[in-house]
Amino acid sequence: MGMPLTGMTLKNLFRKPATKMYPLQAPQYSSRSKGHVTNIIEDCILCGICEKRCPTHAITVDKAAESWTIDNFNCIQCLSCVRACPKKCLVMEPEYTKAATSKSTQTVTKPALSEAEQAAKAAREQEKQERIAAALAKKAAKQVAEADTANE
């Protein structure tokens, strides 16, 4: 029993250390590591589905401020938000959240629209309102016609 142990000890004396000099030596993450969630905010429609699906309430969506916030210290890397996002703009990055002495959140805000984009958005909204008004008018006319038929 003594000999194999001595051999092992001697071998390990001349081997490279198994541990890394973290943080001096940057860690290598596998591409499948579940590190932290990020949002490609340009594609996000602020629908709030990710916020509702998150079991630890790590995500906050603020429609008025057009912002998306995550508390990576509350995230348990379950991927529910990534799977549920209808725009596929949430990404599980392989790097782990850096250790810190206090919790913090990360917020991303939708970039300001150019004048042309604002005009296009306003035109889309007006078109939408007109479609809704037309549908309501059609429904009301149908109800009046049905009431007239019933009274005959």
Instruction: Provide the binding-site residues for ligand SF4, judged by CB under 6 A.
Output: 37, 39, 44-50, 53-56, 58-59, 61, 70, 75-81, 85-87, 89-90
Least distance from C-beta 6 to ligand SF4, angstroms?
Answer: 49
Q: Which is nearer to ligand SF4, 23 or 86 (CB)?
A: 86
Q: Which is nearer to ligand SF4, 110 or 128 (CB)?
A: 110
Least distance from C-beta 102 to ligand SF4, angstroms?
Answer: 19
Q: Which is nearer to ligand SF4, 12 or 105 (CB)?
A: 105
Q: Which is nearer to ligand SF4, 76 or 140 (CB)?
A: 76
Least distance from C-beta 80 to ligand SF4, angstroms?
Answer: 4
Dist CA 82 CA 77 (whole Å): 10
Least distance from C-beta 122 to ligand SF4, angstroms?
Answer: 22
Burial label, 30 (beta-carbon count in 10 A; 0-12, 13-18, 19+): exposed
Dist CA 76 CA 99 (whole Å): 15
DSSP string computed for 1-15: -HHHHHHHHHHHHHS
Is 57 within 8 Å of 80 (Cβ atoms)? no
Least distance from C-beta 28 to ligand SF4, angstroms?
Answer: 22
Q: Which is nearer to ligand SF4, 87 or 94 (CB)?
A: 87
List Cβ neighbours of 42 (8 Å cut-off, separation of 6 or more). Answer: 89, 110, 111
Is 74 within 8 Å of 57 (Cβ atoms)? yes
